[in-house]
Amino acid sequence: MEIKKAVIPVAGMGTRFLPATKSMPKEMLPVIDRPVIHHVVEEAINSGIDDIIFITGRSKRSIEDYFDDSPELENHLKMKNKEKMLKIVQDISSMVDIHYIRQKEPRGLGDAILTARKHINDEPFAVLLGDDIIVNEKPCTKQLIDNFIKYGRSTIAVEEVPRDKTGSYGIIQGKPLDDSLYIMDDIIEKPAPEDAPSNIGAIGRYVFTPEILDCIKKTTAGVGNEIQLTDGIRLLKEKQKVYAYKFTGKRYDTGDKIEYVKAIIDFALNNEDMQEQIKEHITGLGM
């Protein structure tokens, strides 16, 4: 069984990065020279996905422009003999098949995923939330796909989160099968630390059987008065096994300012053209 489709919801407001996100989507914030969403799309492609459905909302047009051809810019680069940059720009628009569906009202993550239903067409699919960059040679989504192929069941990526941060995640309760795999017994959306069944949180990468869609459809508004994906997963695990997988890799939640800055520093330190000067700068700060 292959997983070829991915849903990437990008309809959120990005309030944590206001005022920058007043006129640009948070997913377009750059980590040096590539927007966060570029990294997410690359992860999908490197996991074998060839068909991406973006769920967009108001003021997300620049994401569409980013992944589209840009004839004027390409001509300009051609005329200036900037071949290397021309190739980079052209590669972005030929990366993958992308479709856009607009979520009219932001009614929650579950609702955003449901709007992709027609396009998903009863096939298993991946979901990648647009805020996280996960760095690892074998992409996180590919790790989930491999588990899905092995067991034929939905698999969600998890990691241990600080106890005082359970209120930012879907928190699972599960039975460990080995060092990295759990059978999910329950998942609770954003519990307070004292109510959380564990400190193992869903981090925004999922691979689902198509049955998740019916399950989401059956849910009513949950936390924040929104249709929650987590509530759909709760129903799904009553019908089918759901696995939680402790992925391997380094995750940056770029929706968080400090994590965003850390991502930029780490990417700069890993960039051959920049690393020496950035190291010098950091050393010079003498902290």
Give the binding site for ligand G1P (CB under 6 A).
109, 129, 169-170, 189, 201-204, 228-230
**Residues 75/129, Cβ–Cβ less than 8 Å:** no
For residue 164, the minimal CB distance to ligand G1P (Å) is 15
Residue nearest to ligand G1P (CB): 170
Closer to ligand G1P by Cβ: residue 35 or 204 = 204
DSSP assigned state of 169: S
How near is the Cβ of 106 to ligand G1P at its closest, in Å?
11
Given a contact cutoff of 8 angstroms between Cβ atoms, the answer to whether 228 and 107 are in contact is: no
Q: What share of the chain is helix, strand, coil (3-state, %, to 5)?
A: 45, 25, 35
Instruction: Closer to ligand G1P by CB, 8 or 268: give it.
Output: 8
- Between the CA of residue 261 and those of 102, 209, 241, 256, 287, what are the distances in Å? 30, 35, 38, 9, 17
Task: Give the nearest distance from C-beta 167 to ligand G1P in angstroms.
Answer: 10
Helices 83-93 and 71-79 cross at an angle (nearest 10°) of: 160
Residue 74: phi and psi, rounded to 5, are -65, -40
With respect to ligand G1P, which residue has the nearer C-beta, 4 or 165? Answer: 165
Nearer to ligand G1P, 11 or 145 (CB): 11
CB of 19 to ligand G1P, least distance (A): 21
